Chain A
Amino acid sequence: EPEVTQTPSHQVTQMGQEVILRCVPISNHLYFYWYRQILGQKVEFLVSFYNNEISEKSEIFDDQFSVERPDGSNFTLKIRSTKLEDSAMYFCASSVVRGGRNEQFFGPGTRLTVL
């Protein structure tokens, strides 16, 4: 069964460094998403991406964040200058939107630890 994959599974970085989190969505999906979950808190929406542009973003997704689909398979989230509060699980998801239905399938996540 096709699934969303994410790399790395765990990323440790120093505050102020740039990180890139990678995702390979399900191959026939056209909508892509990033969510994050700070330890012990709710899963929060960051951004949605369709047709090579951002379709929606949350207040969390400020200028420090960017997304890209550099080729036909990868979908990346870049954090330019990490802060301690960026430590969280980051989940990528993808979906096919049909007639208003939007079942999103999530990857296993990348645990980002900012020291």
Chain B
Amino acid sequence: DAKTTQPPSMDCAEGRAANLPCNHSTISGNEYVYWYRQIHSQGPQYIIHGLKNNETNEMASLIITEDRKSSTLILPHATLRDTAVYYCIVSGGSNYKLTFGKGTLLTVNP
């Protein structure tokens, strides 16, 4: 699995955009970038994924650089309930398991 690098923690003001970076410089051509989050000890929650193009859904936007070596998850209007650990995971091909790192603890402040 391609490894990912994320900052251990970030802060964001409520109502502002949260931009979470991730480096995945060893990503392979058939691997997707997935983002999950985990609130306290709950099960990881799927947020979004992408291959090459930028993606947007009701939760977030994902910006992937042209060389695919890094990406940014954007929460456009962070709320207190978005406080969680966010995981950037690269997976694909014939490998279906998700390899979780330590992620980024995003704290949204009032």
Contact = CB atoms under 8 A, between A and B. Distances in A.
B21 interface: no
A31 B96 contact: yes
Nearest to A108: B43
Band of interface residues on A: 20 to 34
Contacts of B68: none
A35 B87 CA distance: 15
Nearest to A55: B96
A107 B100 contact: no
By secondary structure, the B interface counts as loop
A75 interface: no
B38 A103 contact: no
Interface residues of B, number: 24
Nearest to B41: A89
A48 B91 CA distance: 14
A48 B96 contact: yes
Nearest to A111: B41
Interface of A: 4, 31, 33, 35, 37, 42-45, 48, 55-56, 58, 89, 91, 93, 95, 97, 100-109, 111
